[in-house]
Chain A
Amino acid sequence: MFHNRAEALALALPAAVFAAVVFLAPVVILLAEGFHNAEGWSVAAYTGFLSDPLNRTVFLRTLRLGATVTVVAAVIGYAAAFAIVNLPPTAKGRMIGLVVLPLMISPVARTYAWIVILGRTGIVNQALTSVGLTDEPIRFLFTETAVFVGLLQLFLPLMILALISALENMPKDAIPAARVLGANWFQVFWKVILPLTKEGLVIGGTLVFTGSLTAYITPAILGGSKVLMLETLLFQRVTVANDFVSASVIAFILIVMSFAANLLLKRLATARSKR
């Protein structure tokens, strides 16, 4: 540990000042704008924003999609992480690689694939028509289902990775012990695995939830203007209506939700390192 304060500040300040000037200051001004109008400080922008039924729909839809994607990712994530953790070492490494890989591929490319799959002449519709389940192609694109599937595919790896590390940190003999003592698999999950991997679940859940809330690409490609989420609504308000007040309100809502989630994560991380 070195003690020269001037030297330490000279090393750290350029990065801090850069982040403060290029990033923090403009964002703070943008947020302040939403609390300010011609008559001074007020929350009129917020009451106005929330009184519009369309905005409320979009807000609730964003929360709903975030919640359902998180819950479904947790269910699939547990099954997948459990299967991966029990693989022999080489196979485990390869499986983890396969889970990490999609995270590195452009989300635009990954989301675009769903157009090929879910489109009017896409795979799903072709399969349905050839089996005779439907005569007309079913509309999947620009529905909430399409956005849900796209988000799930985008963020599932984060949940699986968080649960893998939680399951690996679990005492190895907890599950056999519970089984020997007569617990069925449901009880094992509910009373042993879940409490012991709770932190991993919260970490994965926060990443998936905030990721889904602040997603732009997926609702833009698969939802269009029919299934707006908060970020696509923000973009639309600015580009179509030059409505910077609504933009500032949405920005504040998004930032508050992201921060709350991150605070929760940080609290859990410190709780764990103390133990």
Chain B
Amino acid sequence: MNSRLFPVVVLFLVTAFLIGPFFIIVAASVSGGETLAFPPQGLSLKWVAKVFQVESFRESFAMSMLLAIGGTGAALVLGIPASYALSRYRLPFGETIRTVVALPIIVPGIIVGLALLRYLVVPFRFNITLALFLAHTALVLPYAVRVVSASLNNLRSDIEEAAVLLGSSRAGAFFRVVMPNIRSGILAAFILGFVTSFNQVPVSLFLSGPGIRTLPIDMLSYMEITYDPSVAALSALLAFMSIGIVFIAERFLGFSRYV
């Protein structure tokens, strides 16, 4: 094949394969027909409207939002000091701590969910929502530590040492000198954590109860009952939400270098 044409063809096919399905969901979700079909049978927004009427979707969306925002927030509260200790202090057992904190990324989520169900929720009659919250926090923690550590390592440590020498307290130096400089790293960690938690399925599989479900789990069980286009509409809405978040993040933070 012509060596100039080849790259164009490859890029076209790969983009079509990666992004094409997204356009198909969007098209299917504005269909006027009763079943999932492409090309859509007439234009209508009724399935998009239905998404907002299904009560379980509303509840599980709220739950997913709560977990994604709360879990990522908690992971950052735990992760920022840990990253700071790992990058700025001679920490005893530093490597062990680093490994333990990074573990949740390596162990498949379904196992974490099952283990929490068996040994936390059942024996201690633990609240499911709280268990979900802890699981999502643990899941996001490795990302928080990785991204925040990366931006701490890019920041010269002599500026805070200078602040301390000039009489600032250690905490004062952290909040007034370090924090403002790693703000975009923290924001990137938050966005990455939010997206990871919001889209997470396996961790939450076993941790659901009556009325307590995350949105992706709710979508999975809705799909088992019916193939109507409302799941397509919801998928399209979620995809638009992710694209919006990533676009804004890329615009202001150059997000892709943190992924």
Contact = CB atoms under 8 A, between A and B. Distances in A.
B24 A238 contact: no
Interface string A4-31: 1101110111111011101111110110
B101 A19 contact: yes
A42 interface: no
B182 to A, nearest CB: 15
A112 B17 contact: no
B38 A254 contact: no
A12 B85 contact: yes
Contacts of A20: 100
Interface string A74-109: 001001101110110000000111111111111111
A123 B219 CA distance: 22
B107 A255 contact: yes
A1 B152 CA distance: 12
A128 to B, nearest CB: 14
The size bracket of the interface on B is: 35 or more
Given A19-B138, A110-B21, A101 B232 contact: no
A251 B108 CA distance: 8
Nearest to A220: B220
A80 B245 CA distance: 26
A16 B236 CA distance: 38
B15 A1 contact: no
Contacts of A15: 78-79, 81-82, 97, 101, 141, 145
B141 A109 contact: no
Contacts of B250: 97
B227 interface: yes
Contact of A107 (B10, B107, B135, B199): B199
Contact of A156 (B18, B21, B108): B18
Nearest to B239: A105
A14 to B, nearest CB: 5
Contacts of B18: 98-99, 101-102, 153, 156-157
Given A101-B243, A106-B199, A254-B111, A82 B103 contact: no
A115 interface: yes
A84 B24 contact: no
A76 B157 CA distance: 43
B92 A8 contact: yes
The size bracket of the interface on A is: 35 or more
Contacts of B252: none
Contacts of B90: 1-3, 5, 8
Contacts of A109: 22, 25, 234-236, 238-239
Given A11-B82, A11-B84, A80-B14, A105 B22 contact: yes
Contacts of A79: 10, 14
B131 to A, nearest CB: 9
Given A80-B10, A221-B220, A121 B35 contact: yes
Interface in B84-105: 84-86, 88-92, 94, 96-97, 100-101, 103-104
A175 to B, nearest CB: 12
A22 to B, nearest CB: 5
Contacts of A110: 21-22
A262 B106 contact: yes
A119 B36 contact: yes
A27 B79 contact: no
B239 A106 contact: yes
The 5 closest A-B pairs by CB, nearest first: A109-B235, A113-B21, A83-B7, A8-B89, A26-B115
